[in-house]
Homo-oligomer: A and B are copies of this chain.
Amino acid sequence: MTVRISPLIDRLIDAFRILPGVGPKSAQRMALYILRHNRAGGRTLADALIDAMERVDYCRRCRNFCETEFCNICADERRDDSLLCVVESAADILAVEQAGGYRGRYFVLHGRLSPIDGLGPDALGLDRLDALVGAGGVGEVILATNTTVEGEATAHYIAEMLRDRGLAISRIAHGVPMGGELEYVDGGTIAHALRGRRNLAVDG
């Protein structure tokens, strides 16, 4: 049973529920918290929302989110143009960047091939990916879509699409996570890790 408070507060609680991971109880807590403790913060959030909803678009080159023509990464001349990492979401770029070590470019699909959801090659911008690779300069495309059935299918579709471009096409390695114990890793991951085994160079 939900208790109604007042029309404006009820509307605010309902509005918070659009956010991922926010249920009725959290939404209520958020609304009452900012009403009591941080109205200035609530106004700041409203302004930030309006600006972002209106002005954030896709980067013209890589489809990352940004409000300028090209995103930070595409605008950075120190990045390696010869490497292109294809990811499902903008959050995946952040994950790779936070891991550190990668200095190439990205391309964001904003989804994965999923006919059941009406997501085909056009929705994922695959024509633009094809044109970007066709424009030259890319030596290797790293397919970093997720290891789900759809993510795998998407990786294979892209590999097929770029087959005749004469460049290296790779898939990120799948296996036992760093620090992971075999005992607690699922069978599919272990099978992948075995198939993907690498020779150990032993000196002496």
On A, residues with C-beta under 8 Å from B are 1, 3-9, 11-12, 14-16, 18-21, 26, 28-36, 38-39, 41-53, 55-56, 64-68, 71-72, 89-91, 93-94, 97-98, 100, 110
Contact = CB atoms under 8 A, between A and B. Distances in A.
Given A19-B34, A20-B30, A36-B65, 14 more contacts: A1-B100, A4-B72, A5-B64, A5-B66, A5-B71, A9-B52, A9-B66, A11-B52, A15-B48, A21-B29, A28-B94, A34-B49, A46-B47, A46-B50
Given A19-B30, A44-B18, A8 B51 contact: yes
Contacts of A44: 15, 18
B53 A42 contact: yes
Contacts of A8: 48, 51-52, 55-56, 67
A96 to B, nearest CB: 9
Determine the main DSSP class of A at the interface with B: helix
B33 A19 contact: yes
9 contacts: A1-B98, A6-B56, A6-B65, A8-B52, A9-B65, A9-B66, A12-B48, A12-B49, A19-B30
B65 A29 contact: no
A84 to B, nearest CB: 19
Contacts of A31: 52
A90 B36 contact: yes
Given A33-B20, A94-B3, A15 B49 contact: yes
The 10 residue pairs across chains A and B that have the minimum distance between CB atoms: A18-B41, A15-B48, A46-B49, A15-B45, A6-B66, A46-B46, A3-B97, A12-B52, A12-B48, A42-B53
